[in-house]
Structure 1
């Protein structure tokens, strides 16, 4: 999770921006500073903002030729096209255009290479600035949170793929143009509508970069609307943002967490054995997850649509901590011949410390180690290890138990990586989601009912993340064999 110490520019004072003699003046300037790096941006608002209405937002990432600090060059291609009266009328929206500093990059990719690089653990500082500008805009403007769109060209096409892969739950759709992405991480794009554009004569960014990730998406059964333009060089954006381009398609999309969860479950189902036995071991979050609409139930339904012979074992019990799981893992998991396990524990080990009934850190560490050894013993299961998510949905560091929870999550995370074990870092994923979707800093109500237990959105969110982690664990198991 990125920590974003923000130094913000002037706030937006107007809700309706009037035309001026200079078209670019319709875009109101601002800036953010993250890690000591200042990112300038421009924001275009709908011509008229009606009280009580919320509007789509497009985040646009420009190409390498528009880098700088003038806060104008980034308006050259797509943003300027959106200023025509026809488009202002047809697509009333906010348009956010951050500018990458002169020597910066949205990503660390080698643009001229025909091979991709793995997704870095953290975004570049300029990309962190673009993220901060997005979070700020969402907090200040009347944004429809189910209609946030992402697009970019060339360097920004790479940025679009990377940002969509990092945070697929943030966006309603993404349209990368003459870019590329990490096909190894393509599964994370499940459920996110994509429109990919590239010219087959592009000499600056080889078309192979788009072909590779689109081919991997197709192999995974993930839909991507791919437009490879015959004879077109490094200007696929002319077609992508033209009259017959992606705009009508883009604005027709809406964020659909339920669909993403279901498709992620089906993606998992296609990666497991027909007779797989998947156990979900945990506390009350997992116990409630087995109820109708819960995250276990969502995955059970998705798996059985594809693998009707596969079994799902619900093994969550309210109030349980790591020592409790040690007392029952034989009965609830190993005796039922579970071959895959989603282990989601740690909340109560921290939360119950408020009444003197938590699990000391050393006991949590040693207990978790013993539990994993038992589950994974000879002929045992493959584990996807989840970090404990949240105790309160407010900004990170504001809850009384946030520091302790982060320590315990770090312990859980350290037990992943070796052998066949995979990490599902729910604490990071929850915090990343909440940075965008909880601008008011509410203690609950976004992904949880009470700051801990999942609401409908939270169950859909965890279902998608659990499915991807279990799929990764199954893939590791296959390579170990």
Structure 2
């Protein structure tokens, strides 16, 4: 009997892995290449997509662990969220996951790993990294499409992608109707540039990879600028605060309710 249960459990697990892999194939593969700019992405279109209609679009920036050139790993965290039937029915949107190379970062941040501990020095201003420059061009290219609702353009990301989210906001503050950043960070001098963009910040208070202070500083700076920050801190979460953020029942309704 125990053997049969074990076989059944293994079969169920294998079935789940196969189904999840098949589901992620619903994300089409694409690329944006323009001169020196080159970036690959996965894109999920709404069910019953009609190019004659207009849809909101969400750009999602992955974390460092999903970097590479396989155009697949960036879906590891967050990819399944947008495949949920309830989400697809309630929020028919285009979702784009670009992938950053291993050789660079989304954000213009200097990272020191000497001594076994990461130190982040966020840059005020500066030129975009090659992946960020390519993403900026990719976004402009998408916004030229007639089926994009330019009043409902969103961005979100986690960890390195949370940092990239802030960077995109300061480089294109008028483009995005709203954004969410999970366990990210930025130079507080940059907050002035995106203070008018509705933003929801998430972070784990026990984060030992990207300290929570990077998020609370941004929230505090928004207060200084006369804004009421929307921030959710998870007392028991370490670096993985994205699972908790993705489970927030109000995140997607809040995000897609915003428009320019």
Q: TM-score, normalised by structure 1?
A: 0.47
Structure 1 partner of 2:254: 249
Structure 2 partner of 1:94: 94
Provide Cα deviations, 1:20-60, integer angstroms capped at 9, x if missing partner.
Answer: 98222211111123563531111111112346421110000
- Please state how far the C-alpha of 1:134 moved relative to its aligned partner: 1.6
Contact 2:125 2:190 in 1 (8 A): no
* DSSP 3-state at the match of 2:124: coil
Residue 174 (structure 1) aligned with residue 179 (structure 2):
yes
Residue 165 (structure 1) aligned with residue 170 (structure 2):
yes
Distance 1:133 1:51, change over 3 A: closer
CA distance in 1, matches of 2:84, 2:163: 27
Contact 1:34 1:125 in 2 (8 A): no
Structure 2 partner of 1:74: 74
RMSD (Å) for aligned C-alpha atoms? 2.1
Structure 1 partner of 2:220: 215
Distance 1:187 1:201, change over 3 A: same
CA distance in 2, matches of 1:98, 1:227: 26
Provide Cα deviations, 1:372-407, integer angstroms capped at 9, x if missing partner.
Answer: xxxxxxxxxxxxxxxxxxxxxxxxxxxxxxxxxxxx
Provide Cα deviations, 1:132-177, integer angstroms capped at 9, x if missing partner.
Answer: 2222222235111010001000000000011101211010001011
Distance 1:233 1:55, change over 3 A: same
Q: 2:153 aligns with which of 148, 151, 154?
A: 148
Distance 1:154 1:34, change over 3 A: farther
Distance 1:65 1:245, change over 3 A: farther
CA distance in 2, matches of 1:145, 1:184: 28
CA distance in 2, matches of 1:110, 1:204: 15
Gaps of 5+ in 1: 1-19, 256-481
Equivalent runs, 1:102-251 vs 2, <5 Å: 102-110=102-110, 112-113=118-119, 116-140=121-145, 142-244=147-249, 246-251=251-256
Distance 1:51 1:107, change over 3 A: closer
Distance 1:245 1:234, change over 3 A: farther
Provide Cα deviations, 1:253-283, integer angstroms capped at 9, x if missing partner.
Answer: 111xxxxxxxxxxxxxxxxxxxxxxxxxxxx
- Please state how far the C-alpha of 1:232 moved relative to its aligned partner: 0.6
Gaps of 5+ in 2: 1-19, 112-117
CA distance in 2, matches of 1:217, 1:65: 29
* DSSP 3-state at the match of 1:22: helix
Contact 1:160 1:174 in 2 (8 A): yes
Distance 1:132 1:143, change over 3 A: same
Provide Cα deviations, 1:164-191, integer angstroms capped at 9, x if missing partner.
Answer: 0121101000101100012112111232
Provide Cα deviations, 1:87-111, integer angstroms capped at 9, x if missing partner.
Answer: 1112110001100012121013246
- Please state how far the C-alpha of 1:119 moved relative to its aligned partner: 2.5
More strand by percentage: 2
Contact 2:201 2:215 in 1 (8 A): yes
Provide Cα deviations, 1:389-444, integer angstroms capped at 9, x if missing partner.
Answer: xxxxxxxxxxxxxxxxxxxxxxxxxxxxxxxxxxxxxxxxxxxxxxxxxxxxxxxx
Q: TM-score, normalised by structure 2?
A: 0.84
Contact 2:61 2:157 in 1 (8 A): yes
* DSSP 3-state at the match of 1:162: helix
Distance 1:175 1:21, change over 3 A: closer
CA distance in 2, matches of 1:182, 1:120: 9
Ranked by relative contact order (alpha carbons within 8 Å, sequence separation 6 or more), the top structure is 2
Q: Whose radius of gyration is greater, 1 or 2?
A: 1
Distance 1:201 1:145, change over 3 A: same
Equivalent runs, 1:16-415 vs 2, <5 Å: 22-33=22-33, 36-50=36-50, 52-110=52-110, 112-113=118-119, 116-140=121-145, 142-244=147-249, 246-255=251-260
